[in-house]
Amino acid sequence: MLLDAIRTRFDSLSKSEQKVAQAVLKSPQLALSENITALAKSAQVSEPTVVRFCRALGYDGWQDFKLKLAQGLAVALPRTDEPPLHGDLAADLVGKICSRSINTLLDLRNHLDAAVIEKALDLLSKANKIEFYGQGTSGIIAADAQHKFFRSGVPTVAYSDPHIHSIAASLLRKGDAVVAISQRGNSNALLRSAGLARKAGADVIALAPSGTPLADIATLVVPIDLGADTDPYTPISARLAHLVVIDILAVGLALKRGPEFRKKMQNAQKSLQKFDLQFDSFLRQTPKS
């Protein structure tokens, strides 16, 4: 995911920093084995430029960046970049799709900032209500989030229609929270709604790539940097990453509510199971002639 983050942020880098990015992307293993002097020389820039490049990506410096690069390359699975092709056998599809999904989750685990997650949980735990906004595939993720979060006891709702979440955003107030979900972070309609929510006094947590317009508007961004890709199957992995982040936030919020709330959730689960048993019993009844 670090290499994808470099690709995503490439246009926002200075020309000198882009030279460093190109050197790393061209040969990440070589960049890992080199020291900062060798990398600066191969990129034809100064050592301070390499440091600025690392900090532009959110790292403290060269050593911090190098550590994250090593972690990312160490967990990468072979064939992860191989796209599904016409004529692939079922075994090929199993290998390619599973490898892609596994790498996405490993990258997410290695690069997701726990401190950012903690800040997001603090905002959500104080919210009077939580609204989830998304469009297209992200709208499906928003609906899934609403299904998981309503059990937390906080009023929640999900909107995927841009007109509706625009109206909803303007009706928010201080103490409310919006989770804006986007794989690209540049949807005009979602940007408008996020802006309206901020103007109304609500907090906006963006689940989007870092350095995007949505990330800039948000109170807090949980960066999900998967990079831009023309492969039509890439959204499968992107959606998976967003769903896992939603799971992390949902579980974290439930734990923050304390043991008494956990007991309420367990009682609700038991009631649901009891209903299912009664319904199954009804289905098994033999109709009377």
Question: For 134-191, what is each residue's pLDDT tens digit?
Answer: 999 899 999 999 998 987 778 999 999 999 999 999 999 999 999 999 988 999 999 9
- In this prediction, residue 287 has a pLDDT band, given cuts at 50, 70 and 90, of low
Q: How far apart are CA 119 and CA 128, in angstroms?
A: 16
pLDDT score, position 131: 97
Contacts 24+ apart (CB under 8 A), 10-15: 12/56, 12/211, 13/53, 13/56, 14/52
Note the pLDDT tens digit of each residue in 104-145.
Answer: 887 788 778 889 999 999 999 999 999 999 999 899 999 999
Confidence grade of residue 79 (pLDDT, cut at 50, 70, 90): very low
Q: Are the CB atoms for 171 and 200 separated by under 8 Å? A: yes
| Mutual angle of helices 15-26 and 2-9, in 10-degree steps | 150
Residue with tokens 């990015």: 21
Q: pLDDT by residue (tens digit) across 222-281?
A: 998 875 555 666 667 778 999 999 999 999 998 887 777 677 777 767 776 766 666 566
Confidence band for 198, pLDDT divided at 50, 70 and 90: very high
Question: Where residue 58 falls among pLDDT bands split at 50, 70, 90?
Answer: confident
Residue 272 to residue 197: CA distance in whole angstroms: 35
Q: Which of 22-26, 141-145, 212-216 has the lowest mean pLDDT?
A: 22-26
- Contact assessment for residue 2 and residue 25, using Cβ atoms and an 8 Å cutoff: no
Cα 230 vs. chain centroid, distance in angstroms? Answer: 19
Q: What is the pLDDT of residue 121?
A: 96
Determine the straight-line distance between the first and last CA of the chain, rounded to whole angstroms.
64
pTM: 0.67
At 108, give phi and psi (nearest 5°): -60, -45
Rounded to 5 degrees, what angle do the CA atoms 28, 208, 158 make? 150
At residue 115, the pLDDT reads: 92
What's the Cα-to-Cα distance from 214 to each of 31, 165, 204, rounded to whole Å?
A: 31, 15, 10
Q: Is 162 exposed, middle or buried (0-12, 13-18, 19+ CB in 10 A)?
A: middle
Q: What's the rounded Cα separation, in Å, for the pair 124 and 143?
A: 17
Question: Residue 281: its pLDDT value, please?
Answer: 61
Sign of torsion over alpha carbons 144, 165, 187, 16:
negative
What amino acid is encoded at 228 in this protein? A
Higher per-residue pLDDT: 199 or 77: 199
pLDDT recorded at residue 201: 97
Task: Tell me the Cα Rg of the chain.
Answer: 22
